[in-house]
Structure 1
């Protein structure tokens, strides 16, 4: 490599310099080292595998969890003039998939899901290639203690081994120490180089607003949308609520709002996503299906109409604001009773014992995971995530020696452990939410075993402005809860000349 990394960076992407840790990560990858990098949302993780892919002579494989995320990155790279890039996923027709597999040598960068890369026909073609980099995006998904656990991620260590153990780059925005250890073990990283950047986004203020009813919460949303600079995102827990909020904003304000959720067609989601990126939509009302990989730097606010099930999801979602470094806000609205839904969701995320016991009789260890999962989905009406969970742990039970538990007992015990973990993460989220004495930013950093080094001027609703004496903070908070406009002006310093 005769050129400097900076010259490659400018030549391929037009950037004059690297962001924090980008150069160090890329250097380690090019030196053939395994790397675990935890960089906050919006700090340029994708460049850490895109640039090495363009520099290396062989193929770089990127495991990505979302189809829309893959397609976005492929389109952006093609628009920038890089043609040797492809995404292999279910969006493609049979002919398009066949073309990619038959022309694998033409590509420098291949995006693929953890499910697709395990298909025999895909692995067969990849094993013929020179794989220079095996990158795993959203690597926290590989940990059973991660906030987006997917069983197919657990199999990536074996996939990497079948591909000759190429250097691995594991990327995530949030990973507590237990999850870091899990990522290392599951991906079989060898003496990985660790890069960790603080989750603290000092340009984003943090605020929790108590509302005494659903009606009051909606009124508060309307008030904020009228006052806040745009664009912004509102997260809600249900598809119905995203549609309801979009209608409310369009009726009560001059802003242009749209809803986005997993129940929409892929074409509609793609269209709305592009409209938001291009600036045609002021406010996106969405479930957590929206946001990952969205390349939009000027999002000014994130409003949580309902709070997430864990603090990691909260950090990822608010991190989509203010990527341009300008003042932005994270506002969480809370009404008593909001905790019912996330608890229900946790209970429904796993198959229950009666369904587990019934499914055991349909299992055949000679059949593939895909066939078994499809049978549970088609014949038993199971949800896809339940089927994958069950099949993975049923096969794991089959490999156990001298187990005292029956298959159904073993799988049910794993499901209960996962539920207990998720209940604990929800409790952590709620403790942060209901905290009314300690700086929210400081408490948030503590959840990730970080400490606050410098308090920004626009910090949180507990701290208020830096010059307020501690004894006046609670009084100020109570007073401002009755005066929304004054509170908003303080938050954005709109009362300054």
Structure 2
């Protein structure tokens, strides 16, 4: 299909007249039958990369996705655009409803599924009756990031691909270092030379980068309150703890005029959905969240992302701050830090490994799998897939060293005396870009020196406040 035909199809199916950077090359690669890894920034229009080929190819597209909320967002988007040939398979359904879904697979154009569900032999058998033109792995960094120590079913995608007849495969992610790119392809059994890699820079020029150091947790809490009163528009505050996300949401509601809610995986699904919808509809100004809040949040006008605790890696940090400023307007990403933060993050990334004796007793059926500890489901997965104790220990030892190295890079980012943007670009294997201004607190150390914005209670009367983007530029002394 030539370029003119692709533009015609883009207009017909999506109403767009232009492709975003990286989209056209990715679509052409997929239509040419090439396995493709597309690394495009958050908000770069990744869903179009499998949706447009789906309309131009016979059969169905299978999209493997890590979160139900992310799948639901894509399903809802397709439905709003008039597409009815959509199925979402997840662990929440079962029995007769599941059987009915599997019987209808051949009638679907778009099929969304979690990796856990695709490990079910009955589901794979149902796919043998489906003409599958494209296998898409959304958030493909999960293959590397989550495979060894969380969501190990991602390690089964290589075998799944073979069982499905080795269809053309599209891998989508927003951030991937050279190491992660290599790891993704290796775990899927795809030779590097046989995969087309299409990559856009992780650089977001409209995103101002800052670190705020505090002497104590009490000072940091006060600093957070000051920041959210200053910063205009909608924002996300990330926490490492569910409990603290809830507590701080309550505290901010009591000590400000902000409309604030908490969001974490421990909340009932209905409450999470309500918070997400209220945030999207501008009924909430700030969400205090764990990392569970993010994938599938396609709100263009988020003006700030604040991390109250340290991220576990720069990869995670770039994913999360990439939710700010998707409309291209000036936005800000702020990482807060005080003594003791590193210890908390280190504790959260530790995995308690069982002893060899206990592992052997479980293997021999003398103890229940729960005896493997708090992460028993994780270890039981490997045990059931014929991993012996020494092999498993080597895997987790390498993983823990990698986690420690990644946290070390976050620490380096905190302590920088040179440009933060240049450091991030170098980390992701890019040639550092030259950015004259609007960059980071190293280049603009007085970025908070502008007068405070009008009180946030005026948010109900936007005509009294004016344009949020203009206000943020004033805050950053950039106007």
Equivalent residue runs for 1:22-171 within 5 Å: 22-143=23-144, 150-171=151-172
Distance 1:39 1:215 in 2: 38
* Residue matched to 2:304: 301
- What is the TM-score of this pair, normalised by structure 1? 0.86
Structure 1 runs of 4+ with >4 Å offset? 144-149, 483-491, 494-497
Q: Work out the number of aligned pairs and report it.
A: 459
Distance 1:76 1:168 in 2: 22
Query: Cα distance, 1:49 vs. partner?
Result: 0.9
Distance 1:341 1:162 in 2: 42
Query: Cα distance, 1:362 vs. partner?
Result: 2.6
Give deviations 1:139-183, integer Å, cap 9, x for gaps. 122226889853211111111111110000011111111221121
Given that 2:263 and 2:293 are in contact with CA atoms closer than 8 Å, whether structure 1 keeps it comes out as yes
Query: Cα distance, 1:52 vs. partner?
Result: 1.3
Matched, 1:333 2:336: yes
Q: 1:463 aligns with which of 440, 443, 453?
A: 443
Distance 1:90 1:237 in 2: 26
Given that 1:6 and 1:16 are in contact with CA atoms closer than 8 Å, whether structure 2 keeps it comes out as yes
* Residue matched to 1:243: 246
User: Which runs of 5 or more residues in structure 2 are unaligned?
Assistant: 455-469
SS at structure 2 position matched to 1:206: strand
Distance 1:167-1:389 versus aligned 2 partners, 3 A rule: farther
Distance 1:454 1:78 in 2: 42
* Residue matched to 2:361: 361
* Residue matched to 2:413: 432
Query: Cα distance, 1:213 vs. partner?
Result: 1.7
Q: 2:202 aligns with which of 172, 195, 199?
A: 199
Query: Cα distance, 1:281 vs. partner?
Result: 0.9
* Residue matched to 1:450: 430
Given that 1:36 and 1:195 are in contact with CA atoms closer than 8 Å, whether structure 2 keeps it comes out as yes
Distance 1:484-1:262 versus aligned 2 partners, 3 A rule: farther
Matched, 1:416 2:417: no
Distance 1:26 1:329 in 2: 32
Query: Cα distance, 1:390 vs. partner?
Result: 4.6
* Residue matched to 1:388: 378
Give the RMSD, CA atoms, in angstroms: 2.6
Distance 1:386-1:326 versus aligned 2 partners, 3 A rule: farther
Distance 1:317 1:185 in 2: 26
Q: Which has the higher contact order (CA 8 A, sep 6+)?
A: 2
SS at structure 2 position matched to 1:340: helix
Distance 1:461-1:6 versus aligned 2 partners, 3 A rule: same
Distance 1:391 1:496 in 2: 53
Q: 1:217 aligns with which of 191, 216, 220?
A: 220
SS at structure 2 position matched to 1:226: helix
* Residue matched to 1:18: 19
Given that 1:147 and 1:310 are in contact with CA atoms closer than 8 Å, whether structure 2 keeps it comes out as no
Which range is displaced more, 94-103 or 115-124? Answer: 94-103
Distance 2:268 2:149 in 1: 22
User: Which runs of 5 or more residues in structure 1 are unaligned?
Assistant: 366-374, 398-406, 465-475
Given that 1:143 and 1:149 are in contact with CA atoms closer than 8 Å, whether structure 2 keeps it comes out as no
Distance 2:212 2:274 in 1: 33
Distance 2:241 2:296 in 1: 21
